[in-house]
Amino acid sequence: MKRILLILLIFLMIIPIAAGENITIKGVDFDIPAQYEHGTLKESSYVYQSGLTFRILSLDYDKNLKINYGDDIVNANSAEYTNIAGHDAVVVHKTYESKDYTTVYFATGDNIFLICFNDTYVNDDITNLIAGTPAQTMSTDEFSSRLNDALSDYKDQLAQEEAEIYYEDYQKSNRPTNRYFFFWL
Helices (H) and strands (E) in the chain, counts: 4, 9
The predicted-structure confidence for 144-185, as pLDDT tens digits, reads as follows 999 999 999 999 998 888 777 766 666 666 666 566 655 565
The predicted-structure confidence for 52-88, as pLDDT tens digits, reads as follows 789 999 998 778 899 999 999 999 999 999 999 999 9
pTM exceeds 0.95, yes or no? no
Torsion angle of the four alpha carbons 30, 42, 38, 68, in this order, in degrees rounded to the nearest 10: 70
In this structure, which topology does domain 18-171 adopt according to CATH? Protein Transport Mog1p; Chain A (3.40.1000)
Rg (alpha carbons) of the chain, rounded to whole number: 25
Domain ranges of the chain: 18-171
Cβ contacts of 91-96, under 8 Å, gap ≥ 24: 91/122, 93/120, 96/52
The predicted-structure confidence for 42-57, as pLDDT tens digits, reads as follows 989 999 987 778 999 9
The predicted-structure confidence for 108-129, as pLDDT tens digits, reads as follows 999 999 999 988 889 999 999 9
Looking at residue 61, the DSSP 8-state letter turns out to be S
